[in-house]
């Protein structure tokens, strides 16, 4: 089952920004980190949460899973 339970604090922050509809570039600018770092966070979020897409992550965030 998909869940956000295993995410780090930083990954949760990125997941929330993904759920708000921001692109990796926008997230990088907002967090003052490299876009590649955001991409790495997103990939880890997808793997840890058992999600295949950013939309699925957004649904989990909106539903409060984790």
Q: Has residue 66 got a pLDDT over 70?
A: no
Taking residues 7-31, report their average pLDDT: 97
Work out the number of other CB atoms within 10 angstroms of the CB of residue 18: 22
pLDDT-derived band at 44 (thresholds 50, 70, 90) equals very high
pTM of the model: 0.92
Sign of the alpha-carbon dihedral angle for 40, 41, 42, 45: positive
Q: Which residues contact 42 (CB under 8 A, 6 or more apart)?
A: 14, 18, 24, 54
The answer to whether the CB of 57 falls within 8 A of the CB of 46 is yes
CB–CB of 31/41 below 8 Å? no
Instruction: Work out the percent of the chain whose per-residue pLDDT is above 70.
Output: 97
Banded model confidence at residue 47, pLDDT cuts 50, 70, 90: very high
């Amino acid at each position: 089952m998909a869940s956000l339970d295993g995410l780090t604090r930083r990954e949760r922050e990125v997941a929330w920004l993904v759920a708000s509809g921001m692109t990796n570039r926008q997230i990088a600018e907002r967090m003052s980190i490299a876009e590649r770092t955001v991409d790495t966070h997103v990939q880890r979020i997808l793997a840890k949460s058992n999600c295949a897409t950013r939309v699925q992550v957004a649904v989990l965030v909106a539903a409060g899973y984790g």
